[in-house]
Amino acid sequence: MLEAARRQGLAVPDDLAVMSFDDTLVAAMACPPLSAVRQPFEELGREATRVLLDLSQGRPPASSRIELATELVLRTSTAAQPAPARTVGRAALAPQDYVSAGRPSSRPR
């Protein structure tokens, strides 16, 4: 993907954001390093083993669906674009002007 973007004259992340899944060493070593969704492989293996052992003993799986938490690893292949400013009354405010520590503060109305 990165090479195809280069051939098309696209700059990552300026023109194109690129994400990876599984957060491999290759993703971390790419140029630019790829942002990724990291899976909990050890926990995935434990859950798969538990299900297989249950099945081998004639017990159905406890659930037909198992969800495991993933982790977002941000690197330089993605860049958040600033939100456009919006006019509130007479002042132009961007979202970061009224969000503090990830929680909305007193938002202008």
pLDDT digits (tens, 9 = 90+) for 46-76: 999 999 999 999 999 888 899 999 999 999 9
Of the candidates 81, 80, 74, 83, the one whose C-alpha atom is nearest the C-alpha of residue 32 is 74
What's the average model confidence in pLDDT over 19-31? Answer: 94
Confidence of residue 81 (pLDDT cuts 50, 70, 90): low
DSSP state of 9: T
DSSP state of 101: T
Q: What's the CA gap between 13 and 23, in Å, rounded?
A: 18
pTM of the model: 0.61
pLDDT of residue 25: 94
DSSP state of 11: P
Confidence of residue 108 (pLDDT cuts 50, 70, 90): very low
